[in-house]
A = this chain, B = another copy of it.
C-alpha cells in the first residue's frame, strides 16, 4: 500500500467564496503515483467546507444565499462571547460538510460527468489549509 499526503492553501479575497479545486486535487493524485485507491480532501479550518457539486456560477450564488438563510450571520451567537464574530461560519461548515472522499480509478478521480470539487470559504481573507491524503496502490 502506498500513501501520499499534501496540503493546499487558500486565501480568498472575499469573506465568503466558492473556489473550484478539482484540477489541483487531480494533480496531486497524479503526483502520488497511486492508480487505485481513495483520495480524502478535508478542510482543516473549522469555518470552511469541501463539497462536490456543479461548476455553474448561478448555482454558486444560490448556495451562498442558501447557507446564509439556514446559518445566518447573527450578532448574538454564544461563540461570540469569546471575542470571535464567525459563529455563522462554523454552522455553515456543519451544514455543507467539510470533507469528501473521491475514488481513484485508473489513475484519475472517479467523478460523475458534472461532479466537480469545491472549497467553500465561510470566513476568509486569511490563509487556510486543506489536507489531501491518497492511499492505495
Contacts and interface: CB of A to CB of B under 8 A. Distances in A.
A62 B46 CA distance: 15
A40 B38 contact: yes
Contact of A79 (B56, B71, B112): B56
A52 interface: yes
A77 B100 CA distance: 25
A28 to B, nearest CB: 13
A73 interface: no
A91 B3 CA distance: 33
For this chain, the copies found in one complex come to 3
B38 A135 contact: yes
Interface string A52-81: 111011110111001000110000011111
Contacts of A113: 44
A88 B81 CA distance: 29
Interface of A: 1, 3, 5, 36-38, 40, 42-46, 51-54, 56-59, 61-63, 66, 70-71, 77-82, 87, 90-91, 93-103, 105, 110-115, 129, 131, 133, 135-137
Cβ-closest 9 pairs across A and B: A44-B112, A58-B78, A103-B133, A59-B79, A3-B36, A1-B1, A61-B78, A58-B79, A62-B77
